[in-house]
Amino acid sequence: MEGYGRETYGERWADIYDELFGADPADAGTAEAVDLLAALADGGPVLELGVGTGRIALPLAARGLEVHGIDASARMLALLGAKPGGERVHTHVGDLADADVDVPGGFALVLVVFNTLFALPTQEAQVRCFANVARRLAPAGAFVVEAFVPDPSRFDRGQTVRASRVGVDGVGLEVSRHDPVAQSVSSQQVWFTEAGAQLRPVSVRYAWPSELDLMARLAGLELRDRWGGWDRSPFTAESGGHVSVYTHPA
Ligand SMILES: C[S@@+](CC[C@H](N)C(=O)[O-])C[C@H]1O[C@@H](n2cnc3c(N)ncnc32)[C@H](O)[C@@H]1O
């Protein structure tokens, strides 16, 4: 999408992000994710790529873990920093493909969740991200990727328009174009009210789990676990998303 940069998502969604995506640590999905991630970190240092407003990083830090977060959006990081416990998360402005944050001995856990790996706009950038993570992981560390399983059948001749909200005071439309060659989807969430229209852009370059596994292998990592969700349910042909754990070979 022309004019869409690495900071666009955060800068354009920050004001409504927590309201929409439930940054409440007591939320069942978030609590399950945090339990699993804390178990994988096993007391060691953590790096979250695309940390956002701290939905996951804050509860991990509240458990006493050393947590670092990188994000391209200063607005998202400002919201994180203003929350209770925000000062416990070490934040860095930067690109998640090239995070240059180090801790002695490497990170026990690096995570990129909520489809955020797909914010990287090319296969090359995603490959670079895996390689960079492999260099920063402790020898027994884990790299966790949470992402959706692509579903090109959502699109009709390369596009789709979906009613995302219909209310007395407004209407929400999701307007998307799909490029199957680039494996990219450019969307606008458009909210119409009597006051006018608000545009919230999202652009992703998606990849199937098998492609992510190859990126991991290129980086010298291997798939250790893949679940259909944070509850460690099996990953099946019906799974709409996955939680994948990559590690250095034993
Ligand atoms: C969907 S949000 C996820 C935030 C948080 N991880 C969560 O689970 O709530 C994606 C985040 O990635 C950030 N982001 C997108 N592209 C990025 C990039 N190339 N480098 C660093 N951060 C990026 C956005 O600013 C946003 O905060």
Class of the domain covering 152-203: mainly beta
**Residue owning tokens 């307007």:** 175
pLDDT of residue 26: 62
Mutate to test the pocket of ligand 1, among 21, 34, 53, 71 (most ligand atoms within 8 A of CB): 71
Is the pTM for the entire model greater than 0.75?
A: yes
Assess whether pLDDT exceeds 90 at residue 34.
Answer: yes
Distance (Å, whole) CA 244 – CA 136: 18
CA distances from 232 to 9, 27, 98, 227, 236 (A): 29, 17, 29, 5, 12
Ligand 1 binding pocket includes 50 (Cβ within 6 Å): yes
pLDDT digits (tens, 9 = 90+) for 122-145: 999 999 999 999 999 999 999 999
Ligand 1 binding pocket includes 116 (Cβ within 6 Å): yes
| Strand boundaries in the chain, DSSP class E | 46-49, 67-71, 89-93, 107-112, 137-148, 159-166, 170-179, 184-193, 196-205, 222-227, 241-247
Q: Give the model's confidence band at 55: pLDDT under 50 very low, under 70 low, under 90 confident, else very high.
A: very high
pLDDT of residue 21: 86
Output the six-digit token pair for 93: 């402005």
pLDDT of residue 23: 61
CATH code assigned to 8-150+206-247: 3.40.50.150
pLDDT digits (tens, 9 = 90+) for 169-179: 999 999 999 99
pLDDT of residue 29: 78
pLDDT digits (tens, 9 = 90+) for 91-113: 999 999 999 999 999 999 999 99
- Break the chain into its structural domains and give their ranges: 8-150+206-247, 152-203
Please compute the mean of the pLDDT values over residues 228-239 and round it to a whole number. Answer: 97
Distance (Å, whole) CA 110 – CA 130: 10
